[in-house]
Amino acid sequence: MTAGQFSTHNLDIRDDIVIKRYKSWDRREPHREWAALTLLAEHAAGLAPAPVRAEREACPPMVVMTRLPGRVLRGGHMTAQQTAAMAAALTRLHQAIPARVVEVIEPAAWGPTAAVDKVRAWADKRPDLGEDPLAQQAFQAGAAWLATTGPDRLTIDPLPPVLGLADGNHANYLWDDHDHQVRLIDWEDSGRSDRAFELAEVAEHISHVDDALDAHQLLAGIDLTPRETERVRDFRRLLALGWFLMLGPDGPATPRNPAGTLERQAARVLHLLA
């Protein structure tokens, strides 16, 4: 959930490499990105850019990586084929790296505890959501759910961890028309994460308003245990509610989204909480 966070880096895109220079690095962004790209090059080659070199202690820090073919999946209607390829890419990401390796990865910068705390804090502020009755209904339903023990259960007894992107923005997914595969970019917030949280991040990131991702189809293409399915459902509730609370007239997520997004998100929250 990155509303209010615009460009965090500068890109120098060349024929075969991309040079990424970071504008901020308080979350150890260049270290996270380099570590993730190195692990993926070893265990899931081709799923992400390959690391070339890094100057992680420079000012600003810099990471050089290979350039991948394709176009981002945000901004156009996502087809069934693209959605299936995204599911396959996420499955590969979550299965390719051995558990013993994942266990020692630095925790992701964004995860369940931070998400629960942030969404509850936003709800406690009672943000201005306008006068739309549907929005008011969604706020009441969301606040009632936040007051239960459901969100707290998401922060304890996590499932075996995975390497996670920790950012569900669909602009981080590249579709290659040539080989019909999806690859992942922008690993600056990555780290050890909960698989259910990562899947919910993709399903509920507000970028879905730009590309009409069918979240049901995406999740149907991923083999989930009953426990994972339940956790994904509740993480989706949490994250959808978080975006909704930031979409009011003066909310930080409003300027980047088309008119009517608040009302559509209110309906989505009510559907997920039903």
What is the per-residue pLDDT across 115-139, written as a single tens digit (0 to 9) for each? 999 999 999 999 999 999 999 999 9
CB atoms near residue 64 (< 10 Å): 18
What is the share, in percent, of the chain residues with pLDDT greater than 90? 90
Give per-residue burial for 65-92: e unless 16+ CB within 10 Å, then b.
beebebebbbeeebeeebbbbbbebbeb
| 28 found inside a domain | no
Q: What pLDDT is stored for residue 6 in this prediction?
A: 45
CB atoms near residue 178 (< 10 Å): 7
Q: What pLDDT is stored for residue 211 in this prediction?
A: 85
What is the pTM assigned to this prediction? Answer: 0.95
| 174 found inside a domain | yes
pLDDT at residue 270 is higher than 70: yes
pLDDT band, very low/low/confident/very high, at 1 (cuts 50, 70, 90): low
| 45 found inside a domain | no
The owner of tokens 């991948």 is 68
**What distance in Å separates the CA atoms of residue 190 and residue 187, rounded to the nearest whole number?**
5
Interval 85-113 mean pLDDT = 97
| 86 found inside a domain | yes
| 123 found inside a domain | yes
Q: What pLDDT is stored for residue 256 in this prediction?
A: 85
pLDDT band, very low/low/confident/very high, at 5 (cuts 50, 70, 90): very low
| 18 found inside a domain | no
Q: What pLDDT is stored for residue 209 in this prediction?
A: 93
CA 46 to chain centroid: 20
pLDDT band, very low/low/confident/very high, at 145 (cuts 50, 70, 90): very high
**What distance in Å separates the CA atoms of residue 183 and residue 30, rounded to the nearest whole number?**
19
pLDDT digits (tens, 9 = 90+) for 196-206: 999 999 999 99
| 218 found inside a domain | yes
Number of domains in the chain: 1
| 20 found inside a domain | no
Domain that includes residue 164, residue range: 70-273
pLDDT at residue 163 is higher than 90: yes
pLDDT digits (tens, 9 = 90+) for 174-221: 999 999 999 999 999 999 999 999 999 999 999 999 988 999 999 999
pLDDT at residue 4 is higher than 60: no
CATH number at residue 238: 3.90.1200.10
